[in-house]
Every structure is written in structure tokens, then in C-alpha cells.
Amino acid sequence: MEPKEVINGLNGKHEECVTLELESDDNINAAIMSLSLVGKIISERSIKFSTLCAILNRAWPIKGDFESHDLGKNFVLFVFNSEKEKQEVLLQGPWSIQDKHTVLRDWPKEATLEEIDFSLSEFWVQIYNLPLAMINEKNAAKIGSIFPKYIKSNINEGEQVKWDGFLKIKVAMRVDDPLKTGFNLKREESDLSMVYFKYERMPEFCYSCGRLGHPAKECGYKDEKKMNKNSYGPWLRAPSSKKSITSHVMHRRVQAAGDPENSVKASRRRVKNSNIEDRKTGLAAVINEDAEQNVSEQAANKVNTSFCYGEMCT
């Protein structure tokens, strides 16, 4: 029986237990807050601790070593050499280990591991099928209000509209809830239109219930009454920023070159070599390792995207 179950079994009769007041060192508390992170791997399977350490040693953007401590049940404590290294890890998230999403948190003063809130995690969400005139900061915040917390958008300060027609927002979403797929856009002079979402660096999620941490074949939510058929699939994964930039560069090169076919082939070779370098650094082992992510965008675009029901998709 777990200690928490024992305590709950006392039915609030804390007078049966001895009460102690323990001391905490302010210097130690400061070091914990500035140098450490506690992580929870969102998976119903246990991740081998040695595998986790090997992957993160190659993938995290820090020069020095860091300590890893196995806390059990997919919880890990990380200790860094400096606060700068810790912030670099947080800045370049979200992170996945063997395609399992990892939530990183500070360890609050006087909190136990079970009291730390791992329910929210931050993701960039790309927004598709918006009219150009509606791509502004006010509407970005309104779309972000669908999620538990709106953080920011890719719209620069003073920019009235995104002339490239591309909007993305950074939000905090609940890791235990189904992914939101989009929403119906109400228009004054036209019918409702579908605005849909794609998530950057999205790890393993269930194509049946839309939750993180398990594949469809292991889904325990299949008996839910409200299950939108064909709502979830690989089309919810956004192309990485690197791929988007590469595609743009390839397009520019083809336009400028005298022989478009040879230019495309040369660009593809450059992309292939770049992907090989990514694997050497270990990033390919961390972010979106699931083979299902390799479904081509052409195939994904053929999927019927009319999977939004009611006024709000979930």
C-alpha cells in the first residue's frame, strides 16, 4: 500500500500521528529553484532510466554534464551546473523521449512530488484556413482562449496583419485532455468555415481518443460516449519549422535556377544530409520518433478534415 493511501485511510484523524516542524535551508531552497527541474514522462509505459539519460545527454542544448535522478514511475529529477543551462533546456522545449512527452517543472518550496502540478504543458499550435484580414493579435488571443492559457503568437509588435498568412500561437494545454482539432468560423457574408490546428513537435498521441501518452491500440477511453470518429490522426502534427524554412529556400532556388529539375534534386540532397546530421546529435531520437509521423503531407491532406462538430472542437 502506498503511503498516501495509508494517510487517506486515517479519514482525517491526524491527531493519531505525531506532528513535527522541520527546518529547511534557504540556500538549499534557492539552489533547488535555480538549478533543478523535475520531469514527468507522459506515458502509460515505464521508460528505461538509462535510455532516458543517454538520449538527453545528446539532445539537450548544454555543454556541461547534468545529474539525473530516477524518482520512479516516470519521474526524474535533473540538476544543472548553472541556471543558464536550465533556462536553455526550458526555452527549447517541449521535449519528448522515445516519442513520449516530458513535462518539466520547478520543485516548489515545501511541496512533495505528488503535489507538483504536471497537468499543463506548452506547445506551439499552427492555425490553418483563416482569412488574411483575421490574422491579427486580437484574434490570436481569442483563439488562444480556447486553451487553458494563451501565452503569445508569432505576430510581431506593431504588426497589424501577418502578410504571409501564417499564424501560430503558443499555449498551455492539459496533457490529460483530448487535443483540440479546430473550430467553426462564423462569417457575416458566407457559410461557416473550418479552421483547423496542427501541433508543432507533437509526441505520441492516440488516434482514437486524442490524448497524449498511448497509441490507439492501447486506448482505455474507447467506450466514451462522445468520441468524434476520424477526428484524430497524423494530420494534427505540424511540419517542423526547419522543414518549412527548407521548403521556402528550395522554392526560391528553383525559381532562380535555369534547370529547375536539377535544383530540386540538389536541394533534396542538402535536406537529406541535414537530416543525417540531426540524427547524429540525437534530436531525431527525441522529437517525434513515431514512424507514423512520416506519413506524407500529401496523404494527410487527402483525409477528410470535416471532423468538427458543434461550435467548438475538442
299, part of any domain: no
More confident residue, 275 or 178: 178
Q: Are 93 and 122 in contact (CB under 8 A)?
A: yes
Per-residue pLDDT tens digits for 265-283? 444 444 444 444 444 434 4
Hey, what's the cell of 71? 524518482
Question: Do 220 and 246 fall into the same domain?
Answer: no
pLDDT-derived band at 24, boundaries 50, 70, 90: confident
How much is the pLDDT for 64?
A: 79
pLDDT top residue among 244 and 78: 78
Asked if the bond preceding 148 is cis, omega within 30° of 0, the reply is no
Out of 115, 136, 156, pick the residue that ends a domain: 115
What pLDDT was estimated at residue 5? 56
Mean pLDDT of the region 233-240? 89
| Residue 169 lies inside a defined structural domain of this protein | yes
**77 to each of 29, 68, 69, 158, how far by Cα in Å?**
15, 6, 5, 41
As for how many domains the chain has, the answer is: 3
Give residue 158's pLDDT band: very low, low, confident or very high (50, 70, 90): confident
Predicted TM-score (pTM) of this structure: 0.70
Is 35 inside a domain boundary?
Answer: yes
Query: Tens of pLDDT along 179-190?
Result: 999 999 999 988
Q: Residue 84 is part of which domain span? A: 22-115
Asked if the structure places residue 185 within a domain, the reply is yes
In a domain, 56, yes or no: yes
pLDDT at 308: 36
Question: Which segments of the chain are extended strands (E)?
Answer: 36-41, 67-72, 75-79, 95-97, 100-105, 120-128, 149-153, 167-174, 182-185, 193-199
Residue 33 lies in a domain: yes
145 and 108 fall within a common domain: no
Biggest alpha carbon–alpha carbon distance for the chain: 85
Report yes or no on 301 lying in a domain: no
pLDDT value for 9 = 57
% of the chain exceeding 90 in pLDDT: 52
Counting residues of the chain whose pLDDT is more than 70, the rounded percentage is 69
Q: Is residue 94 part of a domain?
A: yes
Query: How far is residue 37's CA from residue 77's CA, in Å, rounded to a whole number?
Result: 6
